[in-house]
Amino acid sequence: MLDIALVGSGGMMPLPNRYLSALLLRFEGKMVLIDCGEGTQVTVKQMGWGYKTIDAICLTHFHADHVTGLPGLLLSIGHSGREEPITIYGPAGVAHVVRSLCVVTPEIPFAINFVEIPPQGFASIKIPLTNFILSAHPAVHNAPCFAYRIDIERKGKFDLETAKKLDIPVHFWNKLQKGNTIEHENKTYTPNMVMGEARKGLSVSYCTDSRPPKGLPDFIKNSDLFICEGQYGDEEKLAKARKNKHMIFAEAAKLAHDGNVGELWLTHFSPSLPNPKEYAKNAKKIFPNTIVGYDRLNKTITFEDEE
């Protein structure tokens, strides 16, 4: 099961009922956070998910509404008793930005590892300490910015009958299921001898602070959930969205449609949009399975044969 929570759904500045950009994903007790706007640690506390098992933080870009929650959150993670390192991903300069922000929190008790994303992005990097597979795709904003995709891969089923026919000792079965090759009595047993084809995994994609990027529909293809910015709901705001390198609801819905995703959550609303649901129809007429996001909106997605 993969749990997803839209921690903060606002853009530019927080409102009394809306904190700034953040998305939290949880799988097998491990968590990954995407962006960390002002108010992130408050709303995570309200959800009751805790801080200690946040193993990685992925920053889309370095505008304040996506990063100013970092010092407080990292300090709270430290107070939770965490000792293992955390990895922070982001555009070039991520280490400098985070260290500068954290001048006010020098007592963080764990190491922070930094990964700079190359301009062209990357595909399928395993996040340390987790089973999350991370990919990044260039966004189109007025600062270096990336869209992210998280995949949870799923191995094929163990073929019990084949293992018996091959006379593979039972005490090796578990090791083969975990991907290990076994040498025993002049015989070699490999996982592909007893493991079926990989099964459909789980996937979540996230894009905010961007015009519709070229190639993004392929990047988000078949995601179970796509979280995308809808800075403006009114289609009359398109010119403003183009100028400020943002999107309107209809553009996010078009990306969801073209990417054949399962569900779309809109987020990163302008402060001038106090009630984004008023414009839901502008997205739903293009992509019906659209939800207008709000702080702490969450859901759990499961593997196909576990539903």
Which residues are marked as active site? Answer: 65
Cα dihedral 244, 248, 251, 253 sign? positive
∠ CA 96-100-101, nearest 5°, is 120
> Do residues 293 and 267 make contact, with C-beta atoms less than 8 angstroms apart?
yes
3-class secondary structure per residue, 219-280: HCCCCCEEEEECCECCHHHHHHHHHHCCCEHHHHHHHHHHCCCCCEEEECECCCCCCHHHHH
Give dist(CA 143, CA 166) in Å, integer. Answer: 57
Give dist(CA 276, CA 256) in Å, integer. Answer: 18
Give the residue from 117, 149, 303, 122 showing the smallest Cα distance to 228. 149
